[in-house]
Structure 1
Amino acid sequence: MKRIITANVNGIRAAERKGFFYWIKIQNADVVCLQEIKAQENQLDDRFYPKEYHCYYQFAQKKGYASTAIFTKQTPIQVIKESPWDDINFEGRFIRADFEDLSVISIYIHSGSAKQERQDLKMAFLTERFMPYLQELKASGRKVIICGDVNIVHQERDIKNWKANQKNSGCLPEEHAWLDELFFEVGFIDSFREVNKEDGQYTWWSNRGQAWANNVGWRIDYQILTPNLKGTVKSASIYKNERFSDHAPLIMDYQL
């Protein structure tokens, strides 16, 4: 397994109309993880199940909301659509594919920008449920790649306007601290930063103003590795030649 792509498509039907599935075909990725599908199973025809892949969706019970997917060339040993958390399952925010010695997870972490209640839910999930789950994954010794929209920038180099956003969801001090704990204390790896240390590397741009044109962005999409995958990253890129959504696909090449 060499190439893994993660992309928040912000509506898979809209992304398809913009050429996303043609682009996927020419990327020749081993695994593609998608978030924010915003569709139900009965709304997707063969165009959304490319024949080159085994395609697995986890649909939200609420119509037109959230949802995740994993496309994989290799047949998984198992696909786990039910996370340990009922509310996450209700919104279709988690799907996991297990291979022989590797698991790949596609996850869509809450945005807290709508109202304080959602931000509180986001932080409670991260600290009380997701962090213990990640620690269990580490302790199991299994190799795991967690792909998805985490909705948090980590450091100042990961966002254009760091100071101006310190009171906004996704750039709050407690959110940075959560990623600090994950990367610096628990030992998980921000795979992109293994090979790219540059500023101005973003994966999401607001649709307001001229954010895309001026590269006023946030890096909130990740491929996060268990510590036992250190040294496997070969290259990283953010695809910006075309726009399929307000996020850009994150492409990682590994030696696995």
Structure 2
Amino acid sequence: MRVVTISVNGLKRAVGEGFFEWMARQDADVVCVQDHRMRVYELDEDKYRPEGYEPYFLDAEKLEDGGVGIYTRQIPKAIMMGFSYAPADMNGAFIQADFDAVSIASLMVPCALMDDEKQQAKEEYLEAFGNHLQKTLRKRRQFIFCGNFQTAHLVTDANPRYHRLEVSGFLPQERAWFDQVFDEMQYVDAFRKINREKNQYTWWPESAEGWRKHSGWRVDYQIATQGLRSAIKRAWIDTETRFSDHAPLIVDYDVDF
């Protein structure tokens, strides 16, 4: 099963630039999309329903807050919209597709970069989602949580120029949240299970020049339950593809729906 996650910064523009053609070439089974910036009724139009995929989307009250969605080849047994945290549920920040063997979610953490007033909202989201992850451990199935977490975890996940800066996305408490998820709860960072190299980034906060100079951050993740650890077979970031300032993260799992 091939799972893709990508923050598109506007799906309408990405589709116009060949997003669906790229999807077809990837032979992806599930594509988790964040920051689509559209209304659900618009996404029902045929031009946003690529052949062979079923689409499921949530929109945000304010379009600029993004919205999330899932394209899947297999029709899910159920769709869960939100995780019982009102700020996220109202802003279209979490959607989950349940299949026979695994559940796959697409989510988007609030961005607080260059906006100190939003930092509290971001940290409250992370706290609530951390509680959700803790509860998920009690369930007898496997999960993959895909999304734009707006945060780099390790020093190898952000260009060294940011290491000494007090900036949202690399604050000690944000990085400690990932420590709790991966170390205490024993979730798996699917990409790092395969790839330990430096300069593995999914987001470039400045410009195309920054892209070339590797001045990026790894803020897009696929977080898997421990039962999927041995099923992670390949993981990579498609840095040759640019539909936004984020690159797609692609992971192959040896598991059926």
What TM-score range do you get, normalising by the shorter chain? over 0.9
Residue identity in the other structure for 1:176: R
C-alpha displacement of 1:163: 4.7
User: Does 1:79 pair with 2:82?
Assistant: no
Tell me the residue number matched to 1:11: 10
Secondary structure, aligned partner of 1:231:
helix
Give the match's secondary structure for 1:200.
coil
In structure 2, distance between residues paired with 1:12 and 1:179? 28
* Amino acid paired to 2:250: I
CA distance in 1, matches of 2:17, 2:90: 28
Which 5+ residue runs of structure 2 have no aligned equivalent?
A: none
The alpha-carbon deviation at position 63 of structure 1 amounts to: 3.3
Task: Give CA-to-partner distance per residue, 1:14-42, whole Å, 9 cap, x none.
Answer: 11122111100111111000000011134
User: How large is the RMSD of aligned CA atoms in angstroms?
Assistant: 1.5
Q: Which moved more, 1:180-189 or 1:157-166?
A: 157-166
Distance in 2, matches of 1:220 and 1:165, equals 18
- Report what 2:244 is aligned to: 245
User: How far off is 1:199 after superposition?
Assistant: 0.3
Q: Give CA deviations for 1:45-86 in whole Å, capped at 9, x if unaligned.
A: 322111211110111122343100001111100011233012
| Percent of aligned positions that are identical | 37
Q: Tell me how far apart the structure 2 counterparts of residues 101 and 165 of structure 1 sit (CA, whole Å).
A: 43
1-structure distance, mates of 2:230, 2:39: 38
Matches within 5 A, 1:129-168: 129-161=128-160, 163-164=162-163, 166-168=165-167
Structure 1: give runs of 5+ residues left out of the alignment.
Answer: none
1:203 aligned partner: 202
Compare 158-167 and 194-203 and name the one that shifted more: 158-167
Deviates more, 1:87-96 or 1:39-48: 39-48
Alignment coverage as a number of residue pairs: 254
Q: TM-score, normalised by structure 1?
A: 0.95
Question: Which residue is equivalent to 2:46?
Answer: 46
**Length-normalised TM-score, structure 2:** 0.94
CA distance in 2, matches of 1:80, 1:89: 11
* 2:179 alignment partner in structure 1: 180
CA-to-aligned-CA distance 1:162-213 (integer Å, 9 cap, x gap): 5545400000011111101110111000000011000000000023472112
Task: Report the CA distance between 1:242 and its aligned residue.
Answer: 2.5
Question: Per-residue CA shift, 1:194-248, capped at 9, x if unaligned?
Answer: 1100000000002347211212100000000011211111001111223110000
